[in-house]
Amino acid sequence: MDRQRLGFISTRFAGTDGVSLESAKWAQVLWDHRHTSYWYAGKLDRDPGTSMHVPEAYFAHPANMEINELAFGNMRRTPDLTRKINALADYLKGTLYDFVERHAIDILIVQNALCIPMHIPLGVALTHFIAETEFPTIAHHHDFYWERDRFAVNCVGDFLEMAFPPRLPSIQHVTINSFAQQDLAWRKGCSSVLVPNVLDFESPPPEDDQFASDFRNEIGLTHDDILVLQPTRVVPRKGIEHAINLIAQLKDSRFKLVVTHESGDEGLDYQHALTDMADHAGVEVHFVHARVGEERQSSEDGHKIYSLWDVYPHADFVTYPSLYEGFGNALLEAFYFRKPVLVNRYSIFITDIEPKGFKVIAMDGFLTRTLAEQVKWVIQDDQYRTAMVDHNFEVAKKFFSYPVLKRKLRAMMCNVTGTDEL
């Protein structure tokens, strides 16, 4: 296949959110086969030489925030809101034409901007651009608006129907789980390719080095403590109260819960409630988001900032008690680092992950005494634990590694180029 110039488009390509991480993996696999990636977004941490930064395309841009404030939670749309959406969409459409021309793009890869209406004008702009040009497009859908309660009440249903996602013949749709695939077909009449999130299981985790060797000491843990890792944001759907209750049931002061991410834009009420719950239960919780960043660095006061990859090797056990997930990247990370894990059997786990044969400690919405005993067993029995985590690594390597992504991308690229090579 001739080298293709690929235009990745989203509101944000920066940080460790799922869209930014998965798009980077796609770009890596495609780069390995000589295809060049270019980036368009409102917030970017990609190479400026291959990027086009359009501030108005960021979902947190003031103009878009104003639109969202008026669009959701209201049933009646004002003429002014309609004008604002159309005006910003028209401007963004012009920047899309500029982006494609500047970098001689062959194929667009739209990441989440045509499924969840965090930025309505960008979705409208993309829909109009693709309709006007019949541009070959792969639309990678991580979240749909009908999956989020906050978008249920709105006055922009016509825009949502038109652009999230659009039904256009030059678009190939990609979903990340079977529920989303079925919903897209039922609601929109659109077929899609199911491409799960992946990790590079072909390459083992980096070996421990001196930089991260003092992580436990730096967050106030000793060598004898049992580090229970909750590698997620502090938001209610992550079910972190279950991790606290689990440790309370274990009745062993060596177990310490470490939560790596911050609350984000959903407020601190949930974190305060967790702190009160932990204090009442006598559970020691460390919220360490100030010490864990996107990459290794030093803070202004001279303290080390560790990456998430630095933290996993120190974990003795991982908790993943989410109420629901689009897929479950943290679960793949636990398998990758060969860590035993507790999973609340959320719907996508049941349909898309559990049938592959993983061995986890599973709960169904609530904790039991049996679960606590299983956790004690997996911590105490080295042979049992090693067999479990090695099995999970090999299963994940088979079903959720880069070769899986490569096969899926080959088929979609073939639909555009007419050759069966990637």
Query: pLDDT value at position 204?
Result: 86
Could you give the CA distance from residue 177 to residue 90 in angstroms, rounded to a whole number? 33
Share of the chain above pLDDT 90, in %: 83
> What is the model's pLDDT at position 129?
98
Kindly list the distances between the CA atom of residue 198 and the CA atoms of 42, 202, 239, 404, in Å, as whole numbers in the listed order.
25, 11, 23, 8
Question: DSSP strand E in 178-252: where?
Answer: 192-194, 226-230
51 closest CA partner among 116, 111, 7: 7
For 57-101, what is each residue's pLDDT tens digit?
999 999 999 999 999 999 999 999 999 999 999 999 999 999 999
**H helix runs in 231-328, sequence order:** 240-250, 269-281, 308-311
**Secondary structure (3-state) at 363:** strand
Within 10 Å of residue 75's Cβ, how many Cβ atoms? 8
Topology of the domain covering 5-198+402-417: Rossmann fold (3.40.50)
Instruction: Give the count of beta carbons closer than 10 Å to the beta carbon of residue 418.
Output: 8
Please state the length of the chain: 422
Identify how many contiguous H helices and E strands the chain contains and give both numbers.
15, 18
pLDDT band with cut points at 50, 70 and 90 for residue 310: very high
pLDDT at position 297: 84
- Residue 266: pLDDT over 90: no
d(CA 283, CA 17): 29
d(CA 188, CA 164): 9
CA atoms of 203 and 385, how far apart (whole Å): 22
Q: Which helix H or strand E contains 259, and what residues bound it?
A: strand 255-259
Q: What is the pLDDT of residue 421?
A: 66
pLDDT per position as a tens digit, 278-306: 999 999 999 999 899 888 888 777 789 99
Give the strands of the sheet with 292-293, arranged side by side: 292-293, 304-307, 297-298
Residue 29 amino acid letter: V
pLDDT tens, residue by residue, 391-417 = 999 999 999 999 999 999 999 998 888
Domain boundaries, the chain: 5-198+402-417, 215-399
Tell me if domain 5-198+402-417 and domain 215-399 are identical in fold: yes
Q: What is the pLDDT of residues 215-227, one digit of tens each?
A: 999 999 999 999 9
CA atoms lying within 13 Å on the CB side of residue 32: 12
**Comparison of pLDDT for 172 and 327, the residue scoring more:** 172
pLDDT at 265 > cutoff 70: no
For residue 225, give both structure tokens. Answer: 């403590």
Q: Tell me the torsion sign for CA atoms 21, 181, 234, 285.
A: negative
Residues 380, 384, 387, 393: what is their CA dihedral angle, to the nearest 10 degrees?
-50
Q: How confident is the model at residue 276 (pLDDT cuts 50, 70, 90)?
A: very high
Q: Do 146 and 160 meet the contact criterion of CB atoms below 8 Å apart?
A: no
What is the rounded (10 degree) CA torsion for 307, 309, 310, 314?
Answer: 140
Cβ–Cβ contacts within 10 Å for residue 159, how many? Answer: 22
Q: Determine the residue type at 265.
A: D
What is residue 18's predicted lDDT score, i.e. its pLDDT? 80
Confidence check: pLDDT of 136 > 90: yes
CA torsion sign for 327, 332, 333, 335 is: positive
- pLDDT of 113 over the 70 cut: yes
Which CATH superfamily is 215-399 part of?
A: Glycogen Phosphorylase B; (3.40.50.2000)
Start-to-end CA span in the chain (Å): 6
pTM summary value: 0.88
Q: What is the structure's pLDDT at 1?
A: 62
pLDDT confidence of residue 303: 85
